[in-house]
Amino acid sequence: MTISKMNHPKANIIETHELTKVYGNFTAVSHLNLHIRKGSVYGFLGPNGAGKSTTMKMFLGLTRPTEGYFFIDGKTYPADRMEILRNTGSFIESPAYYGNLTGEENLDIIRRILGLPRSAVDDALEIVGLTQFRRRQARKYSLGMKQRLGLAEALLGRPPLLILDEPTNGLDPVGIHEIRTLIKSLPRQYDCTVLVSSHLLSEVELMADDIGILNHGRLLFEGTLAGLRDLARRSGYPTDNLEETFLAMIDEDNQKGRLNR
């Protein structure tokens, strides 16, 4: 079940239209219609293998859609691919860095590639709270600091769109809280939009304005958390805990899939 688009198109920074990606006989993403509001944190939810990373890779031009198309801030792929990339910061799968270089040196490499002023490195380090560790080698960073370095790389130049794939993966509760608080603050403080994926609704509900729930490449729900609660009541899903709502929705979809095979 998919809730219809939430906003007038002009209010959306990302829209997809029947976006589909097929690898051989496997459909990773199927006829996806997303509507991501400008200036929001959009939680992209689904179990591992649901198609979240594939969708994000299509937005970044890392893999081509098989069918359908998408707009990012009014620009289309592939015609405007380079302009989309210039205005998008990303963190996909795990942060990339040179362990023998300092955090500052890692950021400076990217800064030079992007043609940004030196102040962009100071700015990114400040945003993620790594200023005092800027001269420490990246291989000596804790896991949480490495994740923050990855976020700093995405934030260089303060792009209007951030695409973050499981940015709290592997962190302890303190690290998760730090990254979650940072992400939640970004649209308000830096006038950007954040698309963040996770397989845990309990994590996303603490920072997202809107959510999209994906399973087997199909969109089951798109809307607000209040809208998800309404859907749960109408559909007979558990309503005491949204994580249970999410799991029940996924389980029902999996059962339907097995019956249709």
Residue 169 has what pLDDT? 82
| pTM of the complete model | 0.90
**Res. 191: pLDDT tops 60:** yes
Residue 239 has what pLDDT? 83
**Res. 187: pLDDT tops 80:** yes
Mean pLDDT of 118-128: 94
Residue 22 has what pLDDT? 97
Residue 95 has what pLDDT? 78
Q: What is the DSSP string of the chain?
A: --PPP-S-GGGEEEEEEEEEEEETTEEEEEEE--EEETT-EEEEE--TTSSHHHHHHHHTTSS--SEEEEEETTEETTTTHHHHHHTEEEE-SS----TTSBHHHHHHHHHHHHT--THHHHHHHHHHT-GGGTTSBGGGS-HHHHHHHHHHHHHTT--SEEEEESTTTT--HHHHHHHHHHHHHHHHHH--EEEEEES-HHHHTTT-SEEEEEETTEEEEEE-HHHHHHHHHHHT---S-HHHHHHHHHHHHHHHHHHT-
**Res. 46: pLDDT tops 90:** yes
> Who has greater pLDDT, 131 or 2?
131
**Res. 10: pLDDT tops 60:** no
Q: Write down all domains in the chain, each with its CATH number in brackets.
A: 1-87+209-261 (3.40.50.300)
